[in-house]
Amino acid sequence: MSAAAQEKIDAVQADAENWSAEDVVRWGLAEFHPHAAIASSFGAEDVALIDIAARVRPDIRVFTLDTDFLFAETYELIGKIEQKYGIRVERVKSALTPEQQAAQVAPALWTTDPNRCCALRKVEPLKATLAGLSAWVTGIRRDQAATRANAKKIEWDKSFGLVKCNPLADWTWDRVWEYIRDHDVPYNPLHEQNYPSIGCTYCTRQVQPGEDPRAGRWSGFAKKECGLHAPE
Protein backbone atom coordinates (compact mmCIF):
# COMPACT_ATOMS: atom_id res chain seq x y z
CA MET A 1 0.00 0.00 0.00
CA SER A 2 1.31 3.47 -0.78
CA ALA A 3 1.89 5.76 2.18
CA ALA A 4 -0.73 8.17 0.83
CA ALA A 5 -3.38 5.45 0.57
CA GLN A 6 -2.47 4.15 4.02
CA GLU A 7 -2.90 7.64 5.49
CA LYS A 8 -6.28 8.13 3.82
CA ILE A 9 -7.60 4.82 5.12
CA ASP A 10 -6.17 5.21 8.61
CA ALA A 11 -7.78 8.63 8.89
CA VAL A 12 -11.30 7.42 8.21
CA GLN A 13 -11.64 3.66 8.52
CA ALA A 14 -12.91 3.55 12.11
CA ASP A 15 -15.20 6.57 11.71
CA ALA A 16 -16.54 5.23 8.43
CA GLU A 17 -18.13 2.32 10.26
CA ASN A 18 -20.66 4.86 11.58
CA TRP A 19 -21.22 6.51 8.20
CA SER A 20 -24.26 6.02 6.02
CA ALA A 21 -23.89 4.33 2.64
CA GLU A 22 -24.17 7.74 1.00
CA ASP A 23 -21.38 9.11 3.21
CA VAL A 24 -19.06 6.26 2.20
CA VAL A 25 -19.82 6.80 -1.48
CA ARG A 26 -19.34 10.55 -1.09
CA TRP A 27 -15.93 10.04 0.53
CA GLY A 28 -14.79 7.55 -2.10
CA LEU A 29 -15.82 9.73 -5.01
CA ALA A 30 -14.46 12.93 -3.45
CA GLU A 31 -11.10 11.27 -2.91
CA PHE A 32 -10.75 9.26 -6.08
CA HIS A 33 -13.14 10.21 -8.90
CA PRO A 34 -12.54 9.70 -11.85
CA HIS A 35 -10.20 6.95 -10.68
CA ALA A 36 -12.96 5.24 -8.72
CA ALA A 37 -15.63 2.99 -10.18
CA ILE A 38 -18.55 0.89 -9.01
CA ALA A 39 -18.21 -2.81 -9.80
CA SER A 40 -21.70 -4.05 -10.51
CA SER A 41 -23.17 -7.45 -11.22
CA PHE A 42 -26.61 -5.82 -11.19
CA GLY A 43 -27.89 -7.76 -8.22
CA ALA A 44 -30.25 -6.05 -5.78
CA GLU A 45 -27.43 -4.51 -3.75
CA ASP A 46 -25.71 -3.23 -6.87
CA VAL A 47 -28.70 -1.41 -8.30
CA ALA A 48 -29.37 0.23 -4.91
CA LEU A 49 -25.71 1.27 -4.79
CA ILE A 50 -25.86 2.80 -8.27
CA ASP A 51 -28.92 4.81 -7.26
CA ILE A 52 -27.17 6.08 -4.11
CA ALA A 53 -24.02 6.97 -6.05
CA ALA A 54 -25.87 8.67 -8.89
CA ARG A 55 -27.40 11.03 -6.33
CA VAL A 56 -23.92 11.90 -5.07
CA ARG A 57 -22.59 12.57 -8.56
CA PRO A 58 -24.32 11.81 -11.85
CA ASP A 59 -21.13 11.05 -13.77
CA ILE A 60 -20.23 7.96 -11.73
CA ARG A 61 -18.26 5.22 -13.40
CA VAL A 62 -19.82 1.78 -13.37
CA PHE A 63 -18.35 -1.37 -14.86
CA THR A 64 -19.61 -4.92 -15.06
CA LEU A 65 -17.80 -8.17 -15.70
CA ASP A 66 -19.62 -9.36 -18.79
CA THR A 67 -18.72 -13.04 -18.94
CA ASP A 68 -20.88 -13.51 -22.06
CA PHE A 69 -22.91 -15.93 -19.95
CA LEU A 70 -25.25 -13.57 -18.12
CA PHE A 71 -29.02 -13.97 -18.08
CA ALA A 72 -31.03 -12.11 -20.73
CA GLU A 73 -32.81 -10.38 -17.82
CA THR A 74 -29.44 -9.07 -16.57
CA TYR A 75 -28.49 -7.66 -19.97
CA GLU A 76 -31.92 -5.98 -20.17
CA LEU A 77 -31.47 -4.51 -16.71
CA ILE A 78 -28.09 -3.03 -17.66
CA GLY A 79 -29.82 -1.18 -20.51
CA LYS A 80 -32.57 0.08 -18.20
CA ILE A 81 -30.04 1.36 -15.65
CA GLU A 82 -28.06 3.14 -18.36
CA GLN A 83 -31.22 4.84 -19.56
CA LYS A 84 -32.52 5.83 -16.13
CA TYR A 85 -29.24 7.28 -14.86
CA GLY A 86 -27.79 8.55 -18.14
CA ILE A 87 -24.61 6.53 -17.70
CA ARG A 88 -22.67 4.15 -19.90
CA VAL A 89 -21.81 0.92 -18.11
CA GLU A 90 -18.32 -0.29 -19.05
CA ARG A 91 -18.55 -3.95 -20.14
CA VAL A 92 -15.39 -5.72 -19.09
CA LYS A 93 -14.80 -8.89 -21.07
CA SER A 94 -12.48 -11.85 -20.96
CA ALA A 95 -9.55 -11.91 -23.39
CA LEU A 96 -11.08 -15.16 -24.67
CA THR A 97 -14.43 -15.38 -26.42
CA PRO A 98 -16.57 -18.31 -25.25
CA GLU A 99 -15.61 -20.13 -28.45
CA GLN A 100 -11.88 -19.53 -27.90
CA GLN A 101 -12.17 -20.71 -24.31
CA ALA A 102 -13.93 -23.88 -25.43
CA ALA A 103 -11.31 -24.57 -28.10
CA GLN A 104 -8.17 -23.51 -26.21
CA VAL A 105 -9.00 -24.46 -22.61
CA ALA A 106 -11.95 -26.83 -22.41
CA PRO A 107 -15.55 -26.98 -23.52
CA ALA A 108 -18.05 -26.21 -20.74
CA LEU A 109 -15.20 -25.35 -18.39
CA TRP A 110 -17.68 -24.31 -15.67
CA THR A 111 -18.74 -27.95 -15.29
CA THR A 112 -15.22 -29.22 -14.62
CA ASP A 113 -13.19 -26.31 -13.28
CA PRO A 114 -15.33 -23.32 -12.34
CA ASN A 115 -12.40 -21.66 -10.56
CA ARG A 116 -10.45 -21.60 -13.82
CA CYS A 117 -13.51 -20.40 -15.71
CA CYS A 118 -14.10 -17.56 -13.20
CA ALA A 119 -10.40 -16.71 -13.34
CA LEU A 120 -10.53 -16.34 -17.12
CA ARG A 121 -13.89 -14.60 -17.40
CA LYS A 122 -14.00 -12.56 -14.18
CA VAL A 123 -10.85 -12.32 -12.09
CA GLU A 124 -8.29 -11.58 -14.81
CA PRO A 125 -10.49 -8.98 -16.54
CA LEU A 126 -11.23 -7.45 -13.13
CA LYS A 127 -7.55 -7.30 -12.30
CA ALA A 128 -6.82 -5.47 -15.54
CA THR A 129 -9.63 -2.98 -14.88
CA LEU A 130 -8.65 -2.33 -11.26
CA ALA A 131 -5.04 -1.74 -12.31
CA GLY A 132 -6.26 1.53 -13.85
CA LEU A 133 -8.18 2.65 -10.74
CA SER A 134 -7.34 3.98 -7.28
CA ALA A 135 -10.55 2.76 -5.64
CA TRP A 136 -13.46 0.48 -6.34
CA VAL A 137 -16.92 0.55 -4.80
CA THR A 138 -18.83 -2.69 -4.28
CA GLY A 139 -22.25 -3.77 -3.05
CA ILE A 140 -21.04 -6.54 -0.75
CA ARG A 141 -22.77 -7.01 2.60
CA ARG A 142 -21.38 -8.70 5.67
CA ASP A 143 -24.32 -11.02 6.15
CA GLN A 144 -24.21 -12.35 2.57
CA ALA A 145 -21.58 -14.96 3.35
CA ALA A 146 -19.00 -15.95 5.94
CA THR A 147 -16.33 -14.82 3.46
CA ARG A 148 -17.73 -11.28 3.63
CA ALA A 149 -18.38 -11.08 7.38
CA ASN A 150 -15.29 -8.98 8.11
CA ALA A 151 -15.63 -6.50 5.27
CA LYS A 152 -15.04 -2.91 6.38
CA LYS A 153 -16.86 0.02 4.82
CA ILE A 154 -13.49 1.39 3.70
CA GLU A 155 -10.50 -0.91 3.44
CA TRP A 156 -7.34 -1.70 1.54
CA ASP A 157 -7.84 -4.48 -0.97
CA LYS A 158 -4.67 -6.51 -0.69
CA SER A 159 -5.60 -8.82 -3.54
CA PHE A 160 -5.82 -6.08 -6.13
CA GLY A 161 -3.84 -3.25 -4.55
CA LEU A 162 -6.32 -0.39 -4.27
CA VAL A 163 -8.86 1.14 -1.89
CA LYS A 164 -12.14 -0.74 -1.61
CA CYS A 165 -15.36 0.92 -0.44
CA ASN A 166 -18.25 -1.27 0.70
CA PRO A 167 -20.98 1.26 1.49
CA LEU A 168 -23.65 -1.40 2.11
CA ALA A 169 -21.46 -3.57 4.37
CA ASP A 170 -23.88 -3.29 7.32
CA TRP A 171 -27.11 -3.42 5.30
CA THR A 172 -29.53 -6.35 5.53
CA TRP A 173 -31.30 -7.93 2.58
CA ASP A 174 -34.57 -6.35 3.76
CA ARG A 175 -32.99 -2.92 3.90
CA VAL A 176 -31.75 -3.30 0.32
CA TRP A 177 -35.30 -4.05 -0.84
CA GLU A 178 -36.78 -1.24 1.20
CA TYR A 179 -34.37 1.13 -0.58
CA ILE A 180 -35.21 -0.30 -4.01
CA ARG A 181 -38.94 0.10 -3.43
CA ASP A 182 -38.72 3.54 -1.81
CA HIS A 183 -36.59 4.90 -4.66
CA ASP A 184 -38.20 3.00 -7.53
CA VAL A 185 -34.89 1.47 -8.61
CA PRO A 186 -34.99 -0.96 -11.59
CA TYR A 187 -34.09 -4.51 -10.52
CA ASN A 188 -33.66 -7.95 -12.00
CA PRO A 189 -37.05 -9.73 -12.25
CA LEU A 190 -35.28 -13.02 -11.52
CA HIS A 191 -35.16 -11.94 -7.87
CA GLU A 192 -38.92 -12.54 -7.80
CA GLN A 193 -38.38 -16.12 -9.04
CA ASN A 194 -36.20 -17.31 -6.11
CA TYR A 195 -32.87 -16.10 -7.47
CA PRO A 196 -31.50 -13.96 -4.59
CA SER A 197 -27.97 -14.06 -6.04
CA ILE A 198 -27.57 -13.91 -9.81
CA GLY A 199 -24.44 -14.65 -11.81
CA CYS A 200 -23.85 -16.62 -15.00
CA THR A 201 -26.65 -18.78 -16.40
CA TYR A 202 -24.54 -21.93 -16.10
CA CYS A 203 -23.73 -21.42 -12.43
CA THR A 204 -26.91 -19.98 -10.96
CA ARG A 205 -30.03 -21.84 -9.93
CA GLN A 206 -33.14 -20.98 -7.97
CA VAL A 207 -32.87 -21.48 -4.21
CA GLN A 208 -35.36 -23.56 -2.25
CA PRO A 209 -37.15 -22.31 0.89
CA GLY A 210 -34.75 -22.37 3.85
CA GLU A 211 -31.60 -22.54 1.70
CA ASP A 212 -28.74 -20.08 2.06
CA PRO A 213 -29.28 -17.15 -0.37
CA ARG A 214 -26.01 -18.02 -2.13
CA ALA A 215 -26.82 -21.74 -2.32
CA GLY A 216 -27.86 -21.25 -5.92
CA ARG A 217 -24.36 -20.20 -6.99
CA TRP A 218 -22.03 -22.98 -8.21
CA SER A 219 -24.46 -25.54 -6.84
CA GLY A 220 -22.70 -28.89 -6.46
CA PHE A 221 -19.29 -27.27 -5.94
CA ALA A 222 -17.74 -26.05 -2.67
CA LYS A 223 -17.08 -22.75 -4.45
CA LYS A 224 -19.04 -19.80 -3.06
CA GLU A 225 -17.12 -16.80 -4.47
CA CYS A 226 -15.84 -15.84 -7.92
CA GLY A 227 -12.50 -14.79 -6.44
CA LEU A 228 -13.38 -11.10 -6.63
CA HIS A 229 -13.91 -10.53 -2.91
CA ALA A 230 -11.16 -12.34 -1.07
CA PRO A 231 -11.60 -12.08 2.71
CA GLU A 232 -8.89 -10.07 4.48
Q: Are 27 and 12 in contact (CB under 8 A)?
A: yes
Which residues ranging from 29 to 68 are in contact with ligand SF4 (CB under 6 A)?
67
Nearest alpha carbon to residue 41 among 11, 8, 67, 65: 65
Q: Active-site residue 226, yes or no?
A: yes
| Binding to ligand SF4, residues 106-125 (CB under 6 A) | 110, 114, 117-118, 121-122
Question: Considering beta carbons, is residue 169 or 198 the nearer one to ligand SF4?
Answer: 198
For residue 93, the minimal CB distance to ligand SF4 (Å) is 11
List for the chain the helix, strand, coil content (%; round to 5): 45, 10, 45
How far is residue 151's CA from residue 195's CA, in Å, rounded to a whole number? 23
Closer of 69 and 160 to ligand SF4 (Cβ):
69
Considering only 127, 173, 202, 225, the residue that binds ligand SF4 (CB under 6 A) is 202
Among 89, 135, 203, 228, which residue interacts with ligand SF4 (rule: CB under 6 A)? 203
For residue 37, give the amino acid letter. Answer: A
Helix (H, G, I), strand (E, B) or coil at 36: strand
DSSP code of 92? E
Interacting residues with ligand SF4 (CB under 6 A): 67, 69, 110, 114, 117-118, 121-122, 199-200, 202-203, 226
Cite the active site residues: 226
